[in-house]
Amino acid sequence: MSKYLLERMEERRSRAIDIAIAAKVLRVCEYHGDVVMTMGLVDESYAYRVGNAKLKAGELGDTFESPREMTDAVKAAINEHYLDYCPRCEKLLED
């Protein structure tokens, strides 16, 4: 896979996470800024609506080629971060 394709994939992943955070479906741990997790009950459809609004407003540039590509990326981001706790905080509490 070319470096360009890998960069595009990472850009889509990053934007999808940002969309889910904006929709308050995902959140960043207040102590570990690199840890992303869900906000409890997940309403993917709201994240899709937020993403579509950003897409229509041109806020996402050329990151996604279609609304479907964006919703697929948001769904993947939510699934990737489907935790209701921070694993690093959990580990600290165990020690």
CATH code of the domain in which 63 resides:
1.10.10
Q: What is the pLDDT of residue 64?
A: 96
pLDDT digits (tens, 9 = 90+) for 34-67: 999 998 778 899 999 999 999 999 999 999 999 9
Q: What is the pLDDT of residue 86?
A: 93
What is the chain's percent helix, strand, coil content, to nearest 5? 60, 5, 35
Mean model confidence pLDDT for the chain: 93
Give residue 68's Cα distance to chain centre: 15
Q: How far apart are CA 92 and CA 39, in angstroms?
A: 21
Q: What is residue 42's predicted lDDT score, i.e. its pLDDT?
A: 81
What's the structural domain count of the chain? 1
Domain range for 22 is 3-94
For residue 39, what pLDDT is reported?
Answer: 81
